[in-house]
Amino acid sequence: MAKNKTLEQLTKTKTIENQNKIAYLFILPWFIGFILFVIYPFFQTIYNTAFQITSEVNTLVYDYNLNKAGGNFGMAFRNVYFFPQLIDFIVMEATYVPTIIIVAFILAILLNTGVKGQSVFRVIYFLPVIIMSGPVTGILRWNGAGSLLDYNRNVIFKMIMSYSPGLAEALSGLFANFTMVLWFTGIPVILFLNALQKINVNLYEAAKIDGANGWQILWKIKVPIVKPTAFITAVFTIVQLGTYALNPVYYTIQNSIYTEAAGIGLASTFAFIYSLVVFLLVGIAYFLLGRPEKIKHVTLSSIQRLNMENIAKRRLKQKNKEVA
Amino acid sequence: MKTLLARFSKLFSKTEQMKSKTKEYIRTHKTRITHVISQIVVYVFLITIAYVFLYPIFKMISLSFMTSSDLVNPEVVWLPKIFSLSNYEVAWRVLKGEVSLVNSVKYSFLLAFFQTVVSAITGFAFARYEFRGKKLLYTILLLSFIIPVPILLITQYNMFTSFYQSVGWTGTGKGLNTYQSQLIMAFFGQGVNSAILIMIFVNFFKLIPNDLYEAGKIDGANPLQLFWHITIKLSLSTIVVVFLFSFVWNWNETYVTNMLVGDGVELFINQLGKFDSLFGTRAADPARPDQSSGMQLVESYKMAATVISVIPLLLIYFIGQKSFVQGIEKTGITGE
């Protein structure tokens, strides 16, 4: 008993507690900034959605308008630009994010096969992250440099065009921005590659001994282990796609701040609805790819399952032979 | 006739032999051949994708050298017939190159400096100390990354407007339309992608062995000394990584800058965004004003301007490319 007390005294002396309290001092600047520039603006903007806000001589006048024809939300729904743009944004996210994740994963797997010049490829794939900004992507898209070659002149494309214009249109929609889509894979490729390199080689060995082929290793070992990375990548991509020139919603929000009829209230409503959509998208990504606590068991049980499947197959073969 | 037949049969048997030999070779070296073929396929795929990645950049550079006659000439695809730098001269004038370059470098540098310092301090606290509410704060920090910028920016804009007015800090060079608001935000750790930068630091600082800190404590070092002499001096490479990322992200940032700075400060990125409208007033050579009527907005000028605005970033990237990639690996957001 006495011994325990001395141990406690040793580990929980006042100096250590005080030293830990120093941490508050270290995070103080960030914390103040967080309260001032994140927490307060977040809730203030949500509060704004219920008001028609006009600025009169350096002060903002708040006028409650939620009771008048749905207030800002009604106006937002009736707005000609906002909802079509929002739907465009959702469609873009829904098509780009899976493409980016899949392409990045494939690239990472190929880079991880031990090709020579891996670092050169990594440098090339990461380059767009550095130079990508609103105006630059905007100009490259406007110029058509973002489209995949001159697909219009391509013979195969013309053949498809003559057989089925609808399919050609869908394809051109993908190809017209394909390079830009690829440009977003810069960081995902690195993340995936890093995750793949961390997989214990013994897992592959064990699977091979049990008779697994490359395809099975890919689906039952690599994919489950990389899943948490895919979730983080998806969140990152969802956020990144929003911030570039590809997203017209941002500019509608910005423009409506300055127009008198709409004002800050409507802009806040736009921003609020947009944020809800982004949170929803992240939620969907979490639902599909998240839930990381399961992963630890998956790696082991997948091998066990593989083992059992192979044994079952062998037995089936033997039975078939015996029957024959 | 007979000799011909004999020859033919000889040839036939030879080919048969060769066939069986190759079959034998394929049978014995099956894994090796499939390996070589798969390697070739992988390389072809990777190189094709790399080409697609670089295509817009190559196209941009090629277009930036073309004159208007080259642009309409169908024979000219990549290499312009007359190599001239005149596009760059015009683009430099339209961008107000000498002003924009200094401003872009200066403000990206200042913002990156503040961001790096504050992120390092915050990261140190999260990595080294156990304090009440740490987990909650760290979770909030990570979650703040997904909050879209507009929802914060509207109120931030109002806050800064009313703050500057109440303090009386208005006029040219003060308050809005200058970089001061963004510098304040960076100082309080709320710059571009600050959450990621803090995360990089936290994950790296956690790798520093605890024994070093214990030794420091026994020698009587205070927390600031521990921070400076152990943490900072051991993680110079990470600091460089964070600084470079912050620099590049601040350079490329447009949305917040548009709202809080607007037209007040000439930067490469915002000048590039308004290239079309600026072209009419600035494109003409002041030395030869008579030429201005002939000036047309051609995409080559725009491409040249884009190249100019991207060159500093490319320079930084090719000097520090290894640390960029390592930086993303170091964030440790890959699952552990």
Which CATH number fits the domain that encloses residue A152? Answer: 1.10.3720.10
- Are residues A224 and A302 in contact, defined by beta-carbon separation less than 8 angstroms? yes
- B79 has pLDDT over 90: no
Confidence category of residue A132, pLDDT binned at 50, 70, 90: confident
**Which residue bears the tokens 């310092």?**
B117
- Across the interface, do A23 and B128 touch by the CB < 8 Å criterion? yes
The fraction of chain A above a pLDDT of 90, given in percent, is 12
Closest CA to B322 of B251, B239, B237: B237
Domain-embedded: residue A230: yes
Full residue range of the structural domain in which residue A209 is found: 65-323
E-strand stretches of chain B: none
Confidence of residue A92 (pLDDT cuts 50, 70, 90): confident
State percent of chain A over pLDDT 70.
Answer: 78
Has residue A118 been placed in a domain? yes
- pLDDT the model gives residue B286: 64
Task: Confirm whether B45 is domain-assigned.
Answer: no
Residue at A35 is within a domain: no
Residue B153 lies in a domain: yes
Q: DSSP string covering A307-318, please?
A: HHHHHHHHHHHH
b/e map B300-327, b = 16+ CB within 10 Å? bbbbbbbbbbbebbeebbeebbebbbeb
pLDDT for B234: 85
Phi, psi dihedrals of residue A61, rounded to the nearest 5°: -100, 120
ipTM score above 0.95: no
Query: Does some domain include residue B72?
Result: no
Confidence of residue B331 (pLDDT cuts 50, 70, 90): low
Q: Is residue A226 part of a domain?
A: yes
Inside any domain, residue B47: no
DSSP designation for B275: H
Tokens of B95: 């961008």
> Distance from A323 to chain B by nearest Cα, in Å?
31
Residues pairing with A60 in the sheet: A55
Q: pLDDT tens digits for B171-226?
A: 777 777 888 888 889 999 888 888 888 988 888 888 888 888 888 888 888 888 88
pLDDT in tens, B218-238: 888 888 888 888 888 888 888
What is the C-alpha to C-alpha distance for residues A309 and B326, in angstroms, rounded to an integer? 40
The pLDDT of B130-145, averaged and rounded, is 88
Residue B336 and residue A198: Cα distance in Å, rounded? Answer: 10
Q: How many residue pairs from chains A and B have C-beta atoms closer than 8 A?
A: 266
Residue B169 lies in a domain: yes
Q: What is the pLDDT of residue B109?
A: 93
Q: How far is B45 from chain A (nearest CA, A)?
A: 9
Give the nearest partner residue to A45 out of B50, B145, B154, using CB atoms. B154
- Please give the Cα distance from A137 to A217 (Å, whole number): 38
Contact in structure between B125 and B268 (CB atoms under 8 Å): no
CATH code, domain with B246: 1.10.3720.10
CB A312 within 8 A of CB B189: no
Q: How many domains does chain B have?
A: 1
Residue A228 falls inside a structural domain: yes
The verdict on residue B57 lying in a domain is: no
A178 — contact with chain B (CB < 8 Å)? yes
Residue A227 included in any domain: yes
* Alpha-carbon distance B331 to nearest alpha carbon in chain A (angstroms): 9
- A24 within a domain of the structure (yes/no): no
Q: Does any domain span residue B318? A: yes
Distance from the Cα of B294 to chain A's closest Cα (Å) equals 22
In this predicted model, what pLDDT tens digit does every residue of B288-320 receive, in sequence order?
655 554 566 667 888 888 888 889 998 988 888
What is residue A101's three-state secondary structure? helix
Percent of chain B with pLDDT over 70: 93
Q: Range of B321's domain? A: 96-330
Most confident listed range (A300-304, B125-129, B264-268, B293-297): B125-129
Q: Do the domain assignments include residue A25?
A: no
Mutation to test the A interface, candidates B151, B226, B299, B301, most A Cβ within 10 Å: B151
> 3-state SS of A119-178?
HHHHHHHHHHHHHCCHHHHHHHHHHCCCCCCCCCCCHHHHHHHHHCHHHHHHHHHHHHCH
Q: Which backbone phi and psi does A167 adopt, to 5 degrees? A: -65, -40
Picking from B36, B153, B279, B334 by the largest number of A CB atoms within 10 A of its own CB, the best residue to mutate is: B334
Place of tokens 């156990």: B130
B199: in domain: yes
Q: B168: left (phi > 0), else alpha (psi -120 to 50), else beta?
A: left
Q: Are B120 and B242 in contact (CB under 8 A)?
A: yes
pLDDT per position as a tens digit, B15-55: 888 888 888 877 777 778 888 888 888 888 888 888 888 88
The answer to whether A224 and A211 are in contact (CB under 8 A) is: no
Instruction: Name chain B contacts of A118, Cβ cutoff 8 Å.
Output: none
Structural domain count of chain A? 1
B230: which DSSP letter?
I
**Nearest beta carbon to residue A29 from set B50, B189, B324:** B189
User: Furthest-apart CA pair in chain A: how many Å?
Assistant: 95
Q: Which residues contact B96 (CB under 8 A, 6 or more apart)?
A: B266, B271, B282
Confidence of residue A55 (pLDDT cuts 50, 70, 90): confident
